[in-house]
Structure formats: structure tokens, C-alpha cells
Structure 1
Amino acid sequence: MTRFDFAFTRAYRVAGAPFGVTPRTAWAAIDDDLLFVHFGPWRLRTSLDNIADATITGGFAFIKTAGPAHLSLADRGVTFATNGERAVCLEFHDPVTAIDPIGLLPHPNATLTPSDPEAFLAALGGDLPTAG
């Protein structure tokens, strides 16, 4: 299993702490078949085969991404952000659960901020796009 810590800026660290989002509790891991994401009390788990696309993105507004996990009202995507500069956006074939554990709000995509987005994409493997 390969673990990727999240890249925190000071402002995001302060905003996330009251929600249990800290460098110790925010990370992603990839093994041969699965992706695991921990973001404070929130969890996402899916098979690597469920990832349809992965791209590097960034330029997020602090107010829309700092603190707890965020749900996009536009497309039901989930954001696990610890900085606003660089992230990886994952698109799924089948929506996944993360914000609510019983699955009433499945997410067609997830954005996360690993400390090394390029290495994270490489660890996902396969024929996923890496441009961004």
C-alpha cells in the first residue's frame, strides 16, 4: 500500500482542525485494487477500476473548500481540500459514498489534495489521463 499525506497550508490547517481534519487524519492510500481516502471523520473507499478519470486541478476559493469535507450542490461531488492550489479530481464510473455513511448522497467525483499529485496519479496506474 502506498500512502499519500495531504498538503496543508497554514490557513487550511487552522480551518480544518475544529472538524478533526489534521495532517494525522488526512491522507489517501492506494493498494493493488483499492483507493482509500481519510479526511478527519470522513472516509471514501472505492476500487481502482471505478476511477474513470483523474486530473490535476487547483485554484480553489478558500471559503468553498476549507474546513470539513464539502459537497458540491452543482454535481454532488465531494471535496477533501487542505490547500487551494493543487489537487487531484477523480471521476467515478459508479458514484461513491463519503459524506454520509448510508449512501443517500453518492458522489460522482472527488477532489483531494495529496502532497504530490503527480506521484498520486502514477500510483493509480492504468491509462488514466495525467494532464491538468
Structure 2
Amino acid sequence: MTSADAATTRYDFAFAPSYRWAALPFGVLPGTTWAELGPGGLRVRFGPWRLRTGLDNIAGAERSGGFGFLKTAGPAHLSFSDRGVTFATNGDDAVCVRFHSPVRGIDPTGLITHPGATLTVSDPPAFLDHLEVLTR
């Protein structure tokens, strides 16, 4: 993690033991799961899934959590209510990032795009502070 500078930082995901087992068959492992935030934008890898967007497309972000295991464990999840994508490795603490223009993530063809992404990074406050520095 970086301090208040604008360097690119890789944020690991916080894996709960039950989520680790549920994610394993989908290739979602600590070594294949991360979020990078820096002057070049946001890049996320969640096993085989990828998401990328520029800083100018980030509309805002806030903490979230309290997710149900069945709705979030295992692979990337699509919300049918708002088309958001969830990359979850625990149900307790996450960052929800909103986009001005929807981005690709769960569907490699790009037919499904997401107005937001939920990321269970290991240090949500540091991620949010870094994002604030980059987008002011």
C-alpha cells in the first residue's frame, strides 16, 4: 500500500476461509485476485475475470458489506437488479465503485456492462483514500 502519493498500488483481496473454498474451482485464488489503482485507472483481476477503467470514469466509491454467502461466494456475480458486478472473497467488508459509463467485467463479449463493481480488497479505507487522492 502506498501513502498519499499517486503511485499505482496493488490491493490484495481479503479471503475468508469459506469463500476461499467456494472460489477455488473458479480459479479465484490469492495469486490471481487483486485490484490495482493508480494514475492509469482501476484494473481488477478476479481469477479469469477482468475489469479496467480510467480514473475519469469513476463517479464515486463507498464502503459496503454484510453480503450473503450464497449471493457472493465463488465466481464473479452479476446483480440482476442493477447489473453491478461483485468480486467477493468475504461477506463483511468491501468497496463499491460506481462508474459514469458502464464497464465490461463479467462477460468477455462486452454485451453485459456494469455501472458499478464491488471489491473485497483487504484494506478498504486505504483503497478509498488512494482513490480520493487520484480523483481530486
**TM-score between both structures, scaled by the size of structure 1:** 0.93
Aligned to 2:41: 34
Aligned to 1:122: 129
Identity over aligned pairs, percent: 63
Aligned to 2:97: 90
1:1-132 matches, within 5 Å, as: 1-126=8-133
Secondary structure, counterpart of 2:31 in structure 1: coil
Per-residue deviation, 1:125: 2.4
Structure 2 unaligned residues grouped into runs of 5+:
1-7
Cα root mean square deviation, aligned = 1.2
**CA deviation string 1:33-75 (max 9, x = no partner):** 3100000000000001111010001000000000000000111
Structure 1 stretch displaced more, 51-60 or 29-38: 29-38
* Aligned partners of 2:83 and 2:114 also within 8 Å: yes
Secondary structure, counterpart of 2:61 in structure 1: strand
The 1:37–1:127 alpha-carbon spacing in structure 2 relative to 1, beyond 3 Å, is: closer
Q: Which amino acid aligns with 2:33?
A: A
Q: In the aligned structure 2, how far is the partner of 1:58 from the partner of 1:35? A: 20
Q: In the aligned structure 2, how far is the partner of 1:108 from the partner of 1:16? A: 24
* Aligned partners of 1:51 and 1:90 also within 8 Å: yes
* Aligned partners of 1:33 and 1:49 also within 8 Å: no
**TM-score between both structures, scaled by the size of structure 2:** 0.91
* Aligned partners of 2:76 and 2:86 also within 8 Å: yes
